[in-house]
């Protein structure tokens, strides 16, 4: 069974819709990343969305994460309504990846508790429920199919998209609203700083000089369905997916790249394609020492001498954690749709200092000067490698006409 993806709904510091987002990626525009001070007094670079650009949400709990989520969802409301008309509200599932449990209300509520000995009257523990990012969608659009939330750190929304496809293939539903949403809250920034994982400068992935991640806000959503919902949009299908769990360490990946390699190989096998068919790889590329090294090893092991064009887009979007899998799948989708009919395709360039780390395999990074005149971008692969070795890989492609 084929699984079709609708156009993406995107909202991030790098762009508030697909068109602006793609333009930022191609330019290598890092202006969405700025330095912020957290409640602890520490300062970090982060790709945060300006709250002045957000409007109050229609949710029961109006907080930044829901305002961002709704801004992305508005862009695919026509696809959601078409799915409801075609299949009925009971046959549409919701699958969302996220790692933030209402930190905005949590911090404010606990501050009042420590000051007054009681939580504010309007505070509810439900605000911090992991399910609310998914429950919000089902309530907003009156969907009564399965509602699932996934929190596997950086692979959360990739896992959500995989589960949405499996629900459709199993016959449990006919369509699903799937994607991810996360924010670089003060709690998240200070938490990653305690792991010594945040770069003092904007992240510099795969460089010999890399020193950590740059976090960011972001959301990306699709409607997945067993039939295309919009004939005016190119027919993009989820060709395959693969998951693995190496469980090497609580926060560090397996340095051998074995778990990442397994996820990529499973995705290609599930898609029934060979590595030679892949036109672009969106790397997980966090800018940390061990992630970049093991991913380069895994890519080299799978693709060998065939130097597939690749890049990590986190120096532009920031690492959006639970939303990263969906946001980067949207990048792959745009790489296909925005290059249709072009004789010289353009890919998101690798933004880094260009200093190769000779301790790991060299990859074929896309650049602003990449010559892709002989390539057609039809099949793309997206990697998501999370804490605990929760690895996920997605493959999408343009349906042959």
Q: Is the pLDDT of residue 78 over 60?
A: yes
Residue of 218, 356, 244 whose CA lies nearest to 292: 356
Q: Is the pLDDT of residue 61 over 80?
A: yes
Angle of the 132-140 helix axis to the 64-73 helix axis, nearest 10: 40
Active site positions, annotated: 154, 284, 319
Which residues, including other chains, have CB under 8 Å from residue 256's CB and lie 6 or more apart?
294, 297
Give dist(CA 250, CA 125) in Å, integer.
Answer: 27
Q: Is the pLDDT of residue 69 over 70?
A: yes
Give dist(CA 297, CA 292) in Å, integer.
Answer: 9
Residue of 130, 10, 22 whose CA lies nearest to 69: 10
Q: In whole numbers, what is the pLDDT of the chain averaged over residues?
A: 93
| Sequence ranges of the domains in the chain | 4-398
Greater model confidence, 141 or 344: 141
Per-residue confidence band for 374, with pLDDT thresholds at 50, 70 and 90: low
Per-residue confidence band for 369, with pLDDT thresholds at 50, 70 and 90: low
Give dist(CA 8, CA 53) in Å, integer.
Answer: 20
Residue of 206, 131, 129, 137 whose CA lies nearest to 175: 137
Interstrand relation of 218-225 and 92-97 (parallel, antiparallel or unpaired): unpaired
In contact, 25 and 348? CB cutoff 8 Å? yes
Give dist(CA 170, CA 101) in Å, integer.
Answer: 30
Give dist(CA 286, CA 90) in Å, integer.
Answer: 39
Per-residue confidence band for 397, with pLDDT thresholds at 50, 70 and 90: very high
In contact, 109 and 102? CB cutoff 8 Å? no
Residue of 395, 70, 63 whose CA lies nearest to 221: 70
- Return the CA Rg of the chain: 20
Give dist(CA 179, CA 224) in Å, integer.
Answer: 10
Q: Per the structure block, which two tokens stand in for 341?
A: 């009919």
Greater model confidence, 329 or 389: 329
Q: Per the structure block, which two tokens stand in for 278?
A: 């892949």
Only one residue has tokens 């200093």, namely 355
Condensed to tens digits (0 to 9), the pLDDT of residues 8-31 reads: 999 999 999 999 999 999 999 999
Condensed to tens digits (0 to 9), the pLDDT of residues 186-234 reads: 989 999 999 889 999 999 999 999 999 999 999 999 999 999 998 888 9
In contact, 132 and 126? CB cutoff 8 Å? yes
Top CATH class, 4-398: alpha beta
Give dist(CA 80, CA 92) in Å, integer.
Answer: 9
Q: What percentage of the chain has pLDDT greater than the value 70? A: 98
Q: What is the structure's pLDDT at 253?
A: 74
pTM of this prediction exceeds 0.85: yes
Residue of 363, 387, 353 whose CA lies nearest to 211: 353
Q: What percentage of the chain has pLDDT greater than the value 90? A: 78
């Amino acid at each position: 069974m084929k699984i079709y993806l609708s156009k993406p709904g995107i909202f991030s510091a790098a762009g508030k819709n697909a068109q602006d987002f793609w333009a930022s990626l191609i330019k290598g525009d890092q202006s969405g990343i700025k330095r912020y001070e957290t409640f602890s007094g520490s300062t970090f670079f982060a790709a945060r969305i300006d709250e002045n650009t957000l409007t109050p949400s229609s949710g029961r709990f109006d907080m930044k994460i829901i305002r961002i989520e709704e801004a992305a969802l508005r862009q695919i409301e026509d696809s959601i309504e078409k799915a409801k008309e075609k299949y009925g509200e009971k046959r549409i599932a919701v699958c969302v990846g996220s790692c933030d449990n209402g930190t905005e209300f949590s911090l404010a509520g606990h501050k009042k508790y420590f000051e007054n000995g009681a939580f504010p009257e309007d505070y509810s523990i439900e605000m911090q429920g992991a399910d609310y990012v998914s429950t919000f969608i089902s309530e907003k659009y009156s969907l009564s199919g399965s509602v699932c939330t996934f929190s596997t750190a950086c692979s959360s929304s990739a896992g959500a998209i995989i589960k949405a496809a499996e629900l459709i293939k199993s016959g449990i539903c006919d369509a699903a609203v799937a994607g991810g949403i996360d924010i670089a809250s003060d709690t998240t920034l200070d938490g990653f700083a305690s792991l010594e994982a945040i770069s003092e400068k904007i992240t510099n992935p795969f460089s010999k000089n890399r020193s950590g991640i740059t976090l960011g806000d972001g959301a990306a959503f699709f409607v997945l369905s067993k039939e295309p919902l919009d004939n005016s949009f190119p027919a993009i299908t989820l060709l395959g997916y693969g998951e693995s769990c190496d469980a090497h360490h609580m926060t560090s990946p397996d340095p051998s790249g074995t778990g990442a390699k397994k996820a990529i190989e499973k995705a290609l096998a599930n898609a029934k394609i060979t590595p030679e068919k892949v036109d672009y790889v969106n790397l997980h590329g966090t800018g940390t020492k061990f992630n970049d090294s093991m991913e380069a090893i895994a890519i080299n092991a799978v693709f060998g001498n065939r130097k597939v064009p690749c890049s990590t887009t986190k120096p532009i979007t920031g690492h959006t954690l639970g939303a990263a899998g969906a946001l980067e799948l949207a990048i792959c989708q745009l790489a296909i749709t925005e290059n249709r009919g072009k004789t010289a395709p353009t890919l998101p360039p690798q933004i880094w200092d260009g200093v190769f780390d000779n301790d790991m395999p060299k990859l074929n990074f896309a650049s602003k000067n990449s010559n892709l005149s002989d390539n057609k971008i039809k099949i793309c692969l997206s990697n998501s490698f999370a804490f605990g070795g929760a690895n996920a890989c997605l493959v999408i492609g343009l349906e042959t006409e």
